Structure 1
Amino acid sequence: MTTFDVRIWGISEHKGKDRKTGKPRSTWRLRWLVAGQRFGESFQTRALAESFRSRLIVAQREGVAFDEACGLPEPMARELRTRSWFQHATAYVDMKWPHASPNHRKGIAESLATVTPVLLSSDRGAPDAETMRAALYGYVFNTTARTAGPPPAKLAGAVSWVEANTVNLSALNDAALVRKVLDTLALRIDGKPAGAATVTRKRAVLSNALRYAVELRLLDVHPLSLVSWTAPKKDEGVDRAVVANPKQADALLAAVAADSPELVAFFGCMYFAGLRPEEVLHLADDEYERPSAPGAWGWLHLTGATVAVGQGWSNGAKVTEDRGLKHRAKTATRSVPVAPPLAELLARHVAKYAPADNGRLFVTRRGPGGRYVPTAGQPIPNNAYTTAWRKARKEALTAAQMRSPLAKRPYDLRHACLSTWLNAGVPPTQVAEWAGNSVKVLLDVYAKCLDGGTAAALHRIALALGLEPPRSAG
C-alpha cells in the first residue's frame, strides 16, 4: 500500500559513548510519519542525516507516494526490495509450480533457461553453455529438484556462479536489454531461427514472469512494453505433404501389423477416429461402445488423456500423468464415431490382447528383446510406438516418400483423419466436436488440406447462374 500522508520531522542529536573506546560520541536521528506510522533512521554524521532527509522532502514535494510498509518513497522502496533476475525467476517458478501441469513446468523451465544466459552481469568465470543450460533447466528452474537438496556435483559450480552473476531485475528497464532477450527467444540452441510457435510460447512465459514482477511492485512498468518487437508469424496450417491418402494409410497400418501387431489398432484409432496419441493411451474398454451388428458403426466415449511428462516434473515418481481432455473441463467427455474398419481392428485387438487390470486397451505388452510379457497396465512409452512407426514407414513407403514429411509422425494420422472428414463434406462444426477443437482452429489448421473445394464452388455458382457446370481440367 502507498500513501501521500507523510510528515517529516527535524534531526535530533543523541549523545552517548563509543562502546569500544568509551569516548563521547553523537549520532543523528531522523524521524518521520507515514500514514500515522512512525519511522526512524540513525546516522553517524549530521551531513548524512541531512542528505537522507532532503531525499524524503524532495519526494514529498514532487508528489511521490510513500510505501506504508517500509516508510520510504516508492523509488527508494523498490531499491530496498530489489532482486536479482535469478532470485525473481526462481520465485516465479516456485509460485507457478503447484498449479502447473508437468508439461507446462517443463515449458517454463525451458523458456527461463533460454533467457537467463542473456541476463548476466559478468561472464568472468562463466561455465560453458551446455553446463549452464543443464544447471538451469535440470535444477534451478525445477522446484522439486531444488527443494530436494543440493545440486549434483557436476552442476554445483554452475548453479553457484549463475546465482551470483545475474543482473538486478531493475536492469530490465533498459529497452536495449529487453530487445536482446527477445531476439534470443527467436533462436534455437544451434543459432538457427526457432519456430513461430516456440517463440510465441517462450515469449508468453517471459511476459508472465515479468508481469509477476510488476505485480510485486518490483518494476514500475512491464519491460516488454518498452520495445516494439515483432515475433515470427505463426503458421498453424498443416502441410498437405504430411497427410497420407487412404492407400498409403492402409499400407502403413499393414506394416505395423506385420511388425508390432499389438499397435495396429492403436494407430488405427488415430487414423479412423482422429484421436490424439495421449487419448488413445487413456482409452478404456468400457469407453468403447461396440457396433450393434457387423459392418455397423460404434462409438468411443473419451474421458481423458495419458500424457508423458518425464521424471522429475510431476508431483510423484510417475513419468506419465492422467488428465482431462484437451481444452475441456476435467470431467468433460467427448464421443467419436468408430468406422467399421476401426471396429474390426479393435475387435481383433481385444480378442488377442485382453484389457489391463485398469481397463486400458493399449498398454505395454513387450519386454526385453521384444518378448511378450504379462502387463501391469503401464502406458505404452512414446519411444516404443514412435520406433514402431519409423519401422512401418521404412517398410511401407518408397525411398522418395521416406525422405518427405509424409506421415512422419504418428500424430499425422490424426491430420489425415480430420482432412478426410472435411473433404468428405462433414460440416466443420461436427468435425470440430469429434476432434476436440474449435471450429476456428480446425479451419486454420486444415485449410491447406481441403481438396476439391474450388471445383465444387464453381459448380454451385454455375448452377445458380443457369450455366453449364465447368468441366474439370482432368
Structure 2
Amino acid sequence: MNTTYDVKFWEIQRRKDRKTLSFLVRWTVDRKAKSKSFRTKGLAESFLSDLRQAAKAGEASDVTAGLPLSMLAAEQPAGPTFLEFAQTYVLSRWRTSAARTRETDVYGLLSLVADLPNRPPDGDMRELLRSHALLPVDRRPELPHALVSVLAWLQKASLPLADLQDPRVVRAALDAISVTFTGKDAAANTVRRKREVLHHLLELAVEQKELSANPLQAVKWTPPKAAATIDPRTVVNPEQARALLAAVPAIGRTRGGRLHGMFACMYYAALRPEEAAGLRRQNCGLPEEGWGLLTVEKARPQANKRWTNSGETHDLRGLKHRAKDDTREIPIPPVLVAVLRTHIDRYGVAGDGGLFRTSKGRPFSSSAYSAVWQEARRRALTAEQVASALASRPYDLRHAAVSLWLNAGVPATEVAKRAGHSVDVLLRVYAKCIEGQRGRANRQISEALLQ
C-alpha cells in the first residue's frame, strides 16, 4: 500500500450540473486530486471534517483511495461488489448454457453504481461489461485503451452486493431494467427476461450465503404484462404461404434458391429457423413418392462469436426444451419432399451433410435470410400486407404451420409432438389462431338458450 502525509483540502463546492443538487468535497493526496459528492451539505461537511481530523492527528492516507487508513478500513465493503458477484454469476452458468443464454445473461445485468464524479458515458459502460468485464477471464480480449479508465471507475463505483438488501436499491434496479437506453418503456418480454436474470443472480447470492434472502421478494413491483399468445395477424393462409415461397428462388443470384428449401421446412414441417439451419441429409427420409420423414436432432442457433463454444457464429446444439441427445420425428408432405430432393440435386450437401449453406459453404446469418424474406414479402404480398405484421419474420412460417395443423383437426397431442411443444404450451400459445371456435361456441350457447 502506498501512503503519504501530503494532504490538502479545498472548500466544499455546490454542484448544479446534475439532475439533483449535490455538494462536492475536494482534496489532494500526494498532489493527486480526489473528490466525493454528497446529496446534502451536512453530509459533505461531516466527511470533510473526518478528513481534516485524521490529517491533524498525523494519520497517513492511501494514495490510490485518497483516504486516511482508518477511514479506508471503515469504507471497505463486507462481501463482493455487485460487479464482482455478476462476474461470479456469469461464470457459474457458462459451461451449461447455450450461447444465446450467455448473451441474455450478460445483457440482462446492469451496473449498480454509486454517484461518483467523472462517471463515464452509459454506452461505454455497457460496452465494457459485454465485451470484457462479464466474460470469463480466458475469453476476454485485450482491453481497448479507451475503456481502461471506464473499468477503473466501474470497479470503484460498483455498489456492494449487500446494498441490495435496501428496498430502495432494488427498486432502482427494477426501474432501470424497465426502460430502454433512450429512456423509453422497454418491451414487456425484455423486462421479463432481465428481471429473470436479476432474480437468478440474487438466488445464487442467497445460496452462497452472501445474502440472507432474495431482496426481490420484499419489493412490490409488477412487471409489464407480456403477450403469451401468437398474434393471428402474423399468420399467413396456405395461398399466401405458397406465394411467398414461390417468390424466394428468384431473389439474388443464388441466395434465394439456396434458402427456398429452408423456408419450406419452416412452413411444411414447422421447424424453428435454427432447426432448419441444422438439418442434414442423413436427417431426411425423401422417398420418390408419398410422404417423407425428418428426424430433427440438432439446432444451429446464431450468436456473437464471444458467446459460442466454437468461436464461430453458429454452434451445434441439442433441440430446445429437450434432453441433450433427444430427437423429434416429423412426417413431411410430398410437396416438401420434392423441394428438398430438388435442393439436394442442385446444390449438393456440405461435408457433414448440412443442407442449407451459402455458396462459400458457410451457414446463413439471420440477417441474410431475413433480408431475403423481406424481399419475398415485397414481391408476393400487397403494399398493405407488406406494411402489416403478416409474416413479418421467417419464424412466422412456423406459426402458420402449427395453426394450419390445428385448424385441420389434427389432435393437439400430435401437433405438439411434431412442433416440439408440450400440449399445454401449444394450446395456450396458439389459442387465438384456431379458427372456428367462436362460431361453435355461439351455436352451443344458442342451443342452450332454447332449452
Q: TM-score range by the shorter chain?
A: 0.7 to 0.9
Q: Is 2:279 the counterpart of 1:286? A: no
Counterpart-to-counterpart distance in 1, 2:78 and 2:399: 51
Counterpart-to-counterpart distance in 2, 1:130 and 1:149: 18
Shift in Å, 1:454: 2.4
Shift in Å, 1:81: 4.4
Q: Is 2:261 the counterpart of 1:265? A: yes
User: 2:131 touches 2:140 (CA, 8 Å); kept in 1?
Assistant: no
Find the counterpart in structure 1 of residue 129 from structure 2. Answer: 136
- RMSD, aligned CA: 2.1
Find the counterpart in structure 2 of residue 419 from structure 1. Answer: 403
Q: Is 2:303 the counterpart of 1:319? A: no
The alignment partner of 2:209 has SS state of coil
Counterpart-to-counterpart distance in 2, 1:95 and 1:83: 15
User: 1:277 touches 1:411 (CA, 8 Å); kept in 2?
Assistant: yes
Find the counterpart in structure 2 of residue 338 from structure 1. Answer: 332
Find the counterpart in structure 1 of residue 345 from structure 2. Answer: 351
Task: Name the CA shift for 1:248/1:149 in 2 (closer, same or farther; >3 Å).
Answer: closer
Task: Name the CA shift for 1:407/1:219 in 2 (closer, same or farther; >3 Å).
Answer: same
Q: Is 2:200 the counterpart of 1:208? A: yes
Shift in Å, 1:91: 1.9
Q: Which amino acid aligns with 1:353?
A: Y
Give per-residue Cα distances to partners, 1:209-252, cap 9 Å, x unaligned: 11222222222221112211111122111111111111111111
- Alignment match of 1:125 (pick from 72, 94, 118): 118
Q: Is 2:100 the counterpart of 1:100? A: no
- After superposing the two structures, state which structure 1 stretch, 453-462 or 268-277, moved more: 453-462
The alignment partner of 2:335 has SS state of helix
- Alignment match of 1:447 (pick from 426, 431, 446): 431
Task: Name the CA shift for 1:463/1:93 in 2 (closer, same or farther; >3 Å).
Answer: same
User: 1:311 touches 1:318 (CA, 8 Å); kept in 2?
Assistant: yes
Shift in Å, 1:154: 2.2
Counterpart-to-counterpart distance in 2, 1:398 and 1:338: 29
Find the counterpart in structure 1 of residue 83 from structure 2. Answer: 86
Instruction: Report sequence identity in percent.
Output: 40
Counterpart-to-counterpart distance in 2, 1:347 and 1:215: 54
Counterpart-to-counterpart distance in 2, 1:359 and 1:149: 34
Task: Name the CA shift for 1:394/1:149 in 2 (closer, same or farther; >3 Å).
Answer: closer
Q: Which amino acid aligns with 1:136?
A: L
Shift in Å, 1:463: 8.6
Give per-residue Cα distances to partners, 1:401-446, cap 9 Å, x unaligned: 1111111100000000001001111111110100001111111111
Shift in Å, 1:316: 3.2
Counterpart-to-counterpart distance in 1, 2:181 and 2:277: 32
Find the counterpart in structure 1 of residue 216 from structure 2. Answer: 224
Counterpart-to-counterpart distance in 2, 1:317 and 1:124: 38
Shift in Å, 1:150: 4.3
Shift in Å, 1:455: 2.4
Counterpart-to-counterpart distance in 1, 2:157 and 2:83: 8
Aligned residues: 372
Give per-residue Cα distances to partners, 1:349-371, cap 9 Å, x unaligned: 11211111111111122xxxxxx
Counterpart-to-counterpart distance in 2, 1:418 and 1:403: 24
Task: Name the CA shift for 1:283/1:149 in 2 (closer, same or farther; >3 Å).
Answer: closer
Give per-residue Cα distances to partners, 1:291-340, cap 9 Å, x unaligned: 3x53x111111111011121111233221111111111111110111112
Q: Is 2:158 the counterpart of 1:174? A: no
Shift in Å, 1:398: 1.4
Q: Is 2:328 the counterpart of 1:328? A: no
Find the counterpart in structure 2 of residue 250 from structure 1. Answer: 242
Counterpart-to-counterpart distance in 2, 1:140 and 1:80: 20
Counterpart-to-counterpart distance in 2, 1:299 and 1:389: 26
**1:21-32 alignment to 2 at 5 Å?**
none
User: 1:150 touches 1:156 (CA, 8 Å); kept in 2?
Assistant: no
Find the counterpart in structure 2 of residue 384 from structure 1. Answer: 368
Shift in Å, 1:197: 2.0
- After superposing the two structures, state which structure 1 stretch, 158-167 or 449-458, moved more: 449-458
Q: Any gaps of 5 or more consecutive residues in structure 1?
A: 1-78, 366-372, 468-474
Shift in Å, 1:109: 0.7
Task: Name the CA shift for 1:80/1:126 in 2 (closer, same or farther; >3 Å).
Answer: closer
Task: Name the CA shift for 1:97/1:361 in 2 (closer, same or farther; >3 Å).
Answer: same
Counterpart-to-counterpart distance in 2, 1:123 and 1:254: 59
Counterpart-to-counterpart distance in 1, 2:337 and 2:214: 55
User: 2:258 touches 2:357 (CA, 8 Å); kept in 1?
Assistant: no
Shift in Å, 1:148: 4.0
Any runs of at least 4 consecutive aligned residues in structure 1 with deviations exceeding 6 A, and if so which? 460-467
Find the counterpart in structure 2 of residue 67 from structure 1. Answer: none
- Alignment match of 1:297 (pick from 280, 291, 300): 291
User: 1:364 touches 1:381 (CA, 8 Å); kept in 2?
Assistant: no
Find the counterpart in structure 2 of residue 274 from structure 1. Answer: 270
Counterpart-to-counterpart distance in 2, 1:99 and 1:197: 23
User: 2:132 touches 2:140 (CA, 8 Å); kept in 1?
Assistant: no
User: 2:167 touches 2:215 (CA, 8 Å); kept in 1?
Assistant: yes
Structure of larger gyration radius? 1
Counterpart-to-counterpart distance in 2, 1:466 and 1:168: 69
- After superposing the two structures, state which structure 1 stretch, 406-415 or 179-188, moved more: 179-188
- Alignment match of 2:106 (pick from 106, 109, 115): 109
Q: Any gaps of 5 or more consecutive residues in structure 2?
A: 1-75
Find the counterpart in structure 2 of residue 192 from structure 1. Answer: 184
Counterpart-to-counterpart distance in 1, 2:137 and 2:354: 30
Q: Which amino acid aligns with 2:107?
A: E
User: 1:271 touches 1:416 (CA, 8 Å); kept in 2?
Assistant: yes
The alignment partner of 1:421 has SS state of helix
The alignment partner of 1:358 has SS state of coil
Return the TM-score normalized by structure 1.
Answer: 0.75
Task: Name the CA shift for 1:462/1:170 in 2 (closer, same or farther; >3 Å).
Answer: closer
Q: Which amino acid aligns with 2:322?
A: R
Task: Name the CA shift for 1:289/1:201 in 2 (closer, same or farther; >3 Å).
Answer: same
Counterpart-to-counterpart distance in 2, 1:402 and 1:453: 28
Return the TM-score normalized by structure 2.
Answer: 0.78
Counterpart-to-counterpart distance in 1, 2:433 and 2:140: 49
